[in-house]
Structure 1
Amino acid sequence: MTTTPRAATGPVDVPEAARADAPPAVWRDRGFLRYLAGFGLSLLGDQIWFVALAWAATRLDSPAEASFVLAAGSLPRAVLILFGGTLADRWGALRVTLVSQAARVVTMLAAVVLAVAAEPRLWTLALVAMLFGAVDAAHMPAAAALPPQLLPRDALPAGQGLVQTLERVAMIVGAPVGGLIVALGGLSAAAAANALLFVAALVILRALRLRPSADHAHPAGPSEPEGTWQALRGGLAYAIREPVLGPVLLVVTVLNLAIAAPLNVGVALLSDARGWQAAGFSAIIAGFGTGATVGALSVVRFPPRRRPAAVGLIWVIAGSLCIGALGFSPSLLVAVGAAAALGVTSGPASALLLGLVQARTHTRYLGRVMALVTFSALGLVPVSYTAFGALVEATSLPASFVICAAAELLTALAALAVTPLRRAAL
């Protein structure tokens, strides 16, 4: 997230002994900790808003109207997020983060006014949801592009470990806090609380000072087209032709698709089929979240010194075995254990691969590349859910888990066969 053009991010020649003697300690970097504080408050507000919006939507006249409101919030984000990445690259990630954060504050204040003025109706909820989703399309890739401009390259996997830990803590804390606020004061109280959280995040993020660029691999960088469409196509072309980024982004996309559907749709169906009910579903998801937090923090404490992609892909392979095992769990205890093991493997896999993506991306393309990552994590989720349901109908529930596991396993093995990726360094 900067207001001035910067040079590219690329490998810097640092002696191996020096790197080994001075491992990056991201938890001591004040600038990055400031980013985590602002980003964490923003994430907490996101969770409160999603709970409040879902609660208000369910009080409408029909389930169809409730579904329309929720879709109105997610559709603009999915459609516009790639363009949001171009904004971050054109105007600077920090500037776009701050402007979009201010827009989130205004959106929440508008929601407060609308909720106080009259009982929330379909069109008011849909309008606020669409505005928030559109602003998020600019905010998310810009905010995700900030860590590479705050941390040394070697520290990015560890930084991603902390970011992912923060995201999971925000999800765990935000949902009950949001439910409590809605129960006490309704949609207006939740929107007002969000406005305060977003203002605090804005104040913290305004104090960020980005590092001078240390990208020497491509000091000048390719010339940039002026049009938005041309810039978007240029970012896609860059990600595809870069020998490391393309394969890593493909692995990350498959990883998101192969885990999201089995973990959310598949576990719900498994809990119902085994008679574990909602309590069993919650226990399995909690097991995954706990394991993922432990796995992500392991990268913070023990960051790999060499070949982060190869190490991350090995974790992906181990995770694929856990997905397959989850579908055949004979008891709730075994299912929770399999989900926890899946979390332990996916935490370091995601941190290492995303850290490598950030480290290898030219600074002027960071927004667009992180928009691609975010789109694969959020925009393609409905596709994953639909495909998994079709698999269950065509085969069986355990077989669907195995198919997802096989897709993840084969993708990781194919990626390991790509020599530039296997040998890639930060």
Structure 2
Amino acid sequence: MSTATATATATATATATAPAPARPAHRDPNVLRWVGAYTASTLGDSVYHLALSWTVVSTGTPAQAGLVMAVSAVPRALLMLGGGVVADRLGPRRVVIGSDAVRCLVVLGLAATLFLTSPGLWALAAVALVFGTVDALFLPAVGALPPRIAPTDQLARIQGLRGLAYRCGAVLGAPLGGLAVALGGPATAFGAAGVLFALSIPLLSALRLRPLPDTEGVRDGTALSDLADGLRYLRGHRVLGPLMVIVLLSDLGFVGPLNVGLAVLAEQRDWGASGIGWILAGFGTGAGAAALLLTVRGHVPRAGAVSGWTMTLGAVAIGALAYAPVLPAAVAVALAIGLLAGLSGALCNALVQTHCEPAYLGRVTAVAGLCSLGLAPLGYPLTGAAIGLWGLGPVYVVSASVCALSGIYGLLVPAVRKAELPR
């Protein structure tokens, strides 16, 4: 055999045995099934919350309405860490399917009850309590699924797709719920939410999961020992531990101005409720653009550094929002906040999922969720009281400084600053 022939044969053999390139996440049917299920579940959640708030306000006093709406937050905060243990022990897909099945049955049961009678506030509070408990299981599990359905080099794209699905649910869910209430009352809206939860179940059941690598010390003891093991793993990790601090600081500085402060800003500028809507639309557009960018691009070089810088620049935009003189300027600033915060948040999530061992991902996601949904909202009353004492501008500046601290901290920690996403 000649040298040329041998070279050609070796090349052909190498080409034949080379692994096929990974299919982009937005073209992977398995990932698209997960995105479809997540979108249906998010839409159902939005419709449910609108229907619940409308029913409670129509039935009781404003104080009672606020109490019922807050009921779900308590079990979600208290049980979130336990939900992470359950997700790691039973598997995230099984937990997500069970969560949506429970939500479907409870909401359809409430819809049937409303068709037949008018339940008291206690029944609505019980439904809210169930939802809060289910959320404590659902949120860690849904966050632990992406590494089980796609290669690690597609996790940034999946975070982009998840951001698009979430924005779709947030933007379309409220109008869909309002239309259902207008056409058939709260019972119809709850029924629509139940159908949306049901749609996610067959899509989740069809997912093909990647095998979970064996990890010593996981699922060998009690649930409490598994939780302690997960916290030790997180505390000792050079990337994941600092990322949890970043998540907490960024959300503490972010949620107050964009929730409590926004209503005060619109009132002081005489922009009214429509002004709040325009500002939120600007924020949603920016966040959606960031999610679309990640979905299409897939890989972001120096992801840790990019996340830190975008978080810091987004904090500057948060502080500037309080000083926007006219509504178009505020909308433009909100768009910048959505773009920068959306990109930094998605990159943080992708880094968590890339650097975390799959067997611990439920517990690590639970800690991140506790920081965002359990601890950060505690700043709401503090933000409101501070605005009353010192005014809008100083509170926005302080909140922006806390948010900027998270980005600066990420840039100062070498392991986070140098963290990369796989190609």
Shorter-chain TM-score above 0.5: yes
What is aligned with 1:107?
A: 106
Counterpart residue number, 1:94: 93
TM-score by length of 2: 0.91
Aligned counterparts of 1:34 and 1:198: Cα–Cα separation in 2: 14
TM-fit CA distance, 1:22:
5.7
**How much has 1:56 moved relative to structure 2?**
0.5
Match of 1:366 in 2: 361
Unmatched runs of 5 consecutive residues or more in structure 2: 1-17
User: Residue 92 of structure 1 aligns to which amino acid in structure 2?
Assistant: G
Q: What is the Cα deviation at residue 245 of structure 1?
A: 0.4
Counterparts of 1:125-144 in structure 2, within 5 Å, are: 125-144=124-143
Counterpart among 201, 208, 228 of residue 233 in structure 1: 228
AA matched with 2:227: L
* Corresponding residue number in structure 1 for 2:68: 69
Helix, strand or coil for the counterpart of 1:412? helix
Query: Does the CA-based 8 Å contact 1:248-1:353 persist in structure 2?
Result: yes
Task: Give the structure 2 partner of residue 286 of structure 1.
Answer: 281
1:405 corresponds in structure 2 to: 400
Q: CA deviation at 1:202?
A: 0.3
Q: Is the 8 Å Cα contact of residues 114 and 124 (structure 1) preserved in structure 2?
A: no
Partner in structure 2 of residue 155 of structure 1: 154
| Alpha-carbon separation, structure 1, partners of 2:241 and 2:122 | 41
1:210-221 equivalence runs, <5 A: 210-213=209-212, 220-221=215-216
What pairs with 1:19-418 in structure 2 (closer than 5 Å)? Answer: 25-213=24-212, 220-224=215-219, 226-418=221-413
Aligned partner letter, 1:80: L
1:335 positional shift: 0.7
Aligned equivalents of 1:223, 1:358: Cα separation in 2? 18
Quick one: which amino acid aligns to residue 272 of structure 1? E
Deviations 1:16-47 (A, max 9, x none): xx99x968621111111000001111111000
Equivalenced residue count is: 404
Cα distance per residue 1:67-120 (max 9 Å; x no partner): 221122232222212211111011111111112221112212221232223212
Moved more, 396-405 or 379-388: 379-388
**Greater Rg, structure 1 or structure 2?**
2
Question: CA deviation digits over 1:260-304, x for unaligned, max 9?
Answer: 111111121111111111111111111011011101211222234
Contact 1:309–1:422 under 8 Å retained in 2: yes
Identity rate of aligned residues, in percent?
38
- The ranges of structure 1 where at least 4 consecutive aligned residues each deviate by more than 3 angstroms after the TM superposition are 21-24, 219-225, 303-306
Amino acid at match of 1:424: A
CA distance in 1, matches of 2:415, 2:107: 46
Deviation, structure 1 residue 387: 2.3
Partner residue of 2:15? none
Greater shift in the superposed pair: 137-146 or 167-176: 137-146
Q: Distance in 2 between matches of 1:307 and 1:22?
A: 22
User: Does the 8 Å contact 2:40/2:196 carry over to 1?
Assistant: yes
Shift of 1:246: 1.0
For residues 284 and 327 of structure 1, what CA distance do their matches in structure 2 show?
A: 12
Structure 2 contact 251–372 (Cα < 8 Å) conserved? yes
Equivalent-residue separation in structure 2 for 1:311 and 1:276 (angstroms): 34
> Distance between the aligned counterparts of 2:172 and 2:218, measured in 1?
44
CA RMSD of aligned residues (A): 1.9
Gaps of 5+ in 1: 1-17
Q: Write the distance in 2 (CA, Å) between the matches of 1:63 and 1:180.
A: 23
Q: Secondary structure at the match of 1:380?
A: helix
